[in-house]
Structure 1
Amino acid sequence: MKSQKVRGHKRRHKQVEQWRRKNLELDLDYLKRNGSDHIDIIVHPWCDNSITKSSIPEPNRKIKQEILNGLLDIYDSWKIQLDQLGQPYYLKIWLYEPRFSKSQVVCAIGDNIKDYENIFYKSVKEKALKTRNYGNLKDRLEQFNWEYYLDEDRYDNCEIGEPEHYVSQQDFEEAKVWFEKQLKKPHRSEKLKEPIGNITEVYSFKRGSLWLGMKK
């Protein structure tokens, strides 16, 4: 797959700053109603789905540092607001590598805290975040405790669905072939203790590293 060039860097820097400022304020009313909230990296083109067969390269160098700085600022601002609630809360940065554009700031309160604490697969291998790879943000990153998890794509035994869900039988057959090829690649399999509808097994494919960061 060809890689799509990202142009208009001055415009991207402006978008990052607009995104950062817009999300410094946590919507506490929304949080209390829903029990959780998060902010994705809403900066074009990384928040878009490519309409061509080319892939969008991940942010790098200066723009990557600016986005990460924005995530850190949002975290700090949300922490101040959450501290004022006077109740337990979950607040972490989800830092993905190399799929950096998936990174988020996530918070939760009440019963949702436990769900978020157990959402990812923790690798048996212990790794330390290489903060030096993030340039002048090294000192800010070292103010956090970073736990290492796996960034995985997850599919289940019902992933393909039924033929009637497709435009044609050929599309259905192609999807089946694709899925069978996927299952031949290295992955983790997990049989569910209790089925979710017709879903009885989940397949997880490692795509990279996921670092969960919380202020010390």
Structure 2
Amino acid sequence: MRRFGQEYVKLTIDPWYRLVKRQPPVWLRREMTLALLDVYESWRRKVEALPEVEYLRVWLSWPNFIDSQVVMATGRQAQHYQDVFLPVAEPKGLPSELGPQLLARLSEFEWQECLSEYPVYKDDLTADELHWLFKRRYRPGRLYDGTEVYWIEQGRVWVGQKLTNKEAPSMNL
């Protein structure tokens, strides 16, 4: 973390995290979510007294659950992560497939529902591919270097952080 200003834990578990990512069954997603929450809690205890850690969040992706992770960052990386996801206008709440017990634990967190998107470079697309793109949910944008991209929606990501004892819960499940 000192060198790059970030640290993260991803679900890189075989056979689900390969070149072609597969989604684990729901029962295993629940177990993996609990493991991510345990990592978050452990990191949170360790960094409570470190003011340089500005960003500590759990990212729960759906339906691409295998992209879920815990992310911690400082400085410029923290600012980058604050802006990486676009919040949705009309949140639908966490997936009910997670089950009532896990949803109860997740209610201890404050969640922001965002779009999960991936970039496609405009210059890489043929006319046929542009035609395909325009039939999908996307938004145009530019990268920091001015490169034109299309952001294609692939699902949702819930960005969560644990509430401190002083904060009131904001139930956005």
In structure 2, the gaps of 5 or more residues are: 164-173
Check if 1:183 corresponds to 2:133. Answer: yes
Aligned AA (1:40): K
Superposed CA deviations along residues 70-121 of structure 1, whole A, max 9, x for unmatched, are: 1010110111111132434201111011110110111101222111100111
Superposed CA deviations along residues 17-56 of structure 1, whole A, max 9, x for unmatched, are: xxxxxxxxxxxxxx11110111110211111114xxxx73
Contact 2:53 2:72 in 1 (8 A): no
Structure whose alpha-carbon radius of gyration is higher: 1
Partner of residue 6, structure 2: 36
In structure 1, the gaps of 5 or more residues are: 1-30, 161-175
- Percent of pairs with identical residues: 28
Match for residue 106 of structure 2 among 109, 134, 141: 141
Structure 1 outlier segments of 4+, above 4 Å? none
What SS is found at the alignment partner of 1:34?
Answer: coil
Separation (CA, whole Å) in 1 of partners of 2:160 and 2:48? 17
How many residues align? The count is 162
What is the RMSD of the two structures over their aligned residues, measured on CA atoms? 2.2
Separation (CA, whole Å) in 2 of partners of 1:193 and 1:86? 30
Q: Mean Cα displacement is larger for which, 94-103 or 177-186?
A: 177-186
- Normalising by structure 2, report the TM-score: 0.82
Structure in which a larger fraction of residues adopt strand? 2
Check if 1:78 corresponds to 2:43. Answer: yes
Larger RCO, structures 1/2 (Cα 8 Å, 6+ apart): 2
Separation (CA, whole Å) in 2 of partners of 1:61 and 1:105? 19
